[in-house]
Copies of this chain bind each other. A is one copy, B any other.
């Protein structure tokens, strides 16, 4: 299927070049024309794959999240209990931290823009809410299993876990040499989990 594989190549080439440009210049300052020029594709080919720059960003975001989901699934499947699953997920943060650190400032810029357009915003915020629910359920089942203290609020625990990861990604973005951020993230999640264990 040469036509199909060429289409996929163009799709991935556009994703690759747009990430480069977004990282260098920022999301807002990068135009579709810039991306087409860099990826050496026509505007027609671009718009065949992505109705808009926002759709391109959402596609980039879902490739990151797909990787994250796969890692979380691997960590969850092999774990004996909920704290072990969460520690396993934290262990993988090292693998994906470099990638996320690059994408995170772009995500922040996109979120800020998306906040003015309800439909795009719903799509941008949906994965965040999905992870929140995922972790809340995980904490809930850890409480039921007796791994975490009974008075733990699973929604609060999920918000704090997300805050730790996002807050460290933020610190890593604007102060990259301030610490070994991969190590800090892993140790920080372990410290938080230790505090809520029974």
Q: Which residues of A contact B (CB under 8 A)?
A: 26, 28, 105, 108-109, 111-112, 115, 124-125, 128-129, 132, 152-153, 155-157, 159-160, 162-168, 170-171, 173-175, 178-179, 184, 187-188, 191-192, 194-196
Most-contacted residue by chain B among A128, A160, A175, A191 (CB, 10 A): A160
Min CB distance, A51 to chain B, in Å? Answer: 23
Q: Give the contacting residue for A164; candidates B26, B153, B167, B179; CB below 8 A.
A: B167
What residues on B are CB-neighbors of A171 within 8 Å? Answer: 128, 159, 162-163, 166
Residue from A105, A125, A192 having most chain B Cβ neighbours under 10 A: A192
**Copies in the assembly, this chain:** 2
Give Cα distance in the complex from A111 to B184, angstroms: 21
Return A153 CB to nearest CB of chain B, in Å.
Answer: 7
A125 CB contacts on chain B under 8 angstroms = 174-175
A28: chain B residues within 8 A (beta carbon): 28
User: In this complex, what residue of B is CB-closest to A166?
Assistant: B167
Residues of B within 8 A of A170 (CB): 108, 163, 166-167, 170
Q: Decide: B128 and A175 in contact? CB cutoff 8 A.
A: yes
